[in-house]
Amino acid sequence: MSDIGHFIDGARIEGGDRSAAVFNPATGQVERRVALADATILQRAVDAAKAAQPGWAATNPQRRARVFIRFVELLNAHMQELAELLSSEHGKTVEDSKGDIVRGLEVCEFVIGIPHLSKGEFTEGAGPGIDMYSIRQPVGIGAGITPFNFPAMIPMWMFAPAIACGNAFILKPSERDPSVPMRLAELMMEAGLPKGILQVVNGDRESVDAILDHPDIGAVSFVGSTPIAAHVYAEATRRGKRAQCFGGAKNHMIIMPDADLDQAADALIGAGYGSAGERCMAISVAVPVGEATANALVERLAPKVEALKIGPFTDAAADFGPVVTKASQEKILGLVDKGIEEGAELVVDGRGFRMQGYEEGFFVGACLFDRVTPDMAIYREEIFGPVLSVVRAADYEEALSLPMRHDYGNGVAIFTRDGDAARDFASRVNVGMIGINVPIPTPLAYHSFGGWKRSAFGDLNQHGPDSIQFWTRTKTVTSRWPSGIKEGAEFSMPVMR
């Protein structure tokens, strides 16, 4: 029997016969088991959602907003509990987990403004005796498929706007760290959300396929790897669903010769190695412009990388913890080996890292490569680990061309004191989120988050104004009352003159 089942119709329920192990990444030991849903479990969630959603959609937006006011209060009250629970399954430090929760909480604060955000438009006198107005109505039932690396933030990025807009929502979180999403659902109930509006169906690919197949689920949001994002988007849209799917990244940071190199080095350390590099907005490629800049940057980076403290989440002094699974550990180490084989210079080698008392944990020591070239696997592929590659560029145009030619287009940054260079870079680079002297340019909740190229599929992004558009449909009404209606049939195309 699994320890973690599902959350359906306002309560936890037990799972079925299938389950998966949930590890403590620091020890490598199985801590819990999570149920894996099939189509029958999903149908129970859909049935509960169908029963509850019409009443929730008819609830005025002020009352929907009040649920999120109370939910934000509960998140703050339970912050330490949630962060420790998150860290125990993901492996990131407790302070990093708090950041995960807070960035989700901020989207919940944003949707408290749903009475204003969901307003339509009105034109009086659009034609003789004719008024025209638009209204936003919920899609109905939405679903979210979320990754392991942000088990609090990304679920809230999805369910907060969806529910605030009047939808019911079915969350399929990662089976690697499922406990926090279950607690979020319980806290939403405590905040006053009706039963059936937010449900958690734990599972694997079988659960994802059931979501994509179900005719009553009208919209799907996904975050994960690019191959799966492309698959989910294709299958969802083929079945007539609205879809937004976000994939992988290879985020560059360009360091101009006039940049403050101490500031740039500190930014690369935090953005490249924080959360063991398991962030879709992590900087994994540093691009210094000019040999002198590159030499000075690497000289500053190497001792900082060597000094990074790695440990379990229970160590408050740790800079980062283990990666999430044994398979992730092996993939990262294999790519480091591949980088050496292809001719990159491994300046700091973290492959031999071992921690006494945690020998079976999924730890990877911090690695720093120099003289990486665009044909190497460590440059082309998303490593998703504590590995930073330095790609030297001769000039600004060569540096700009690197992120522009890469398949991924999630985030990019430039460090410079030159306003002209920064403005030109922001205007020309074909990447969705740009940082100017900001290493991780994740937009705040009232702007939208999303990449370009193979990093995103669909034309509406997460949170901010795009999220309200994604989780609603626009209905436009043209109204004329009897006093303005002429007698007799009209056969020509109507025009407003």
Q: Could you give the residue numbers annotated as active site?
A: 280
Among the listed residues 475, 477, 473, 476, the one whose alpha carbon sits nearest the alpha carbon of residue 138: 473
Compute the distance between CA of residue 128 and CA of residue 289 in angstroms, rounded to an integer.
Answer: 64
Place of tokens 């939405």: 142
Side chain identity, residue 224: G
Distance in Å from the first CA to the final CA of the chain: 70
The beta-strand segments (E) located in 235-344 are: 242-246, 251-255, 283-288
What is the rounded distance in angstroms from the CA atom of residue 30 to the CA atom of residue 279?
Answer: 24
Any idea what DSSP says for residue 484?
A: G
Which residue do the tokens 């894996």 mark?
A: 36
The answer to whether residues 116 and 485 touch, using CB atoms and an 8 Å cutoff, is no
Length of the chain: 497
SS3 144: strand
Distance CA 143, CA 165 (A): 14
Beta-sheet strand order (sheet of 130-138): 121-127, 130-138, 472-480
Q: Give Cα separations from 262 to 75, 86, 183, 369 (angstroms).
A: 36, 33, 41, 19
- Interatomic CA distance for residues 44 and 42, integer angstroms: 5
**What span, in angstroms and rounded, lies between the C-alpha atoms of 248 and 378?**
14
In 67-150, the DSSP E strands lie at 121-127, 130-138, 141-145
* Residue 125, CA distances (Å) to 204, 218, 259, 494, 496 in order: 54, 35, 57, 15, 9
C-alpha 124/C-alpha 116 separation (Å) is 20
**Amino acid (1-letter code) at residue 131:** D
Contact predicate 412/251, CB 8 Å = yes
- DSSP single-letter state for residue 75: H
Residue closest to 431 by CA, chosen among 284, 281, 286 = 281
CA distance 496 to 126: 7
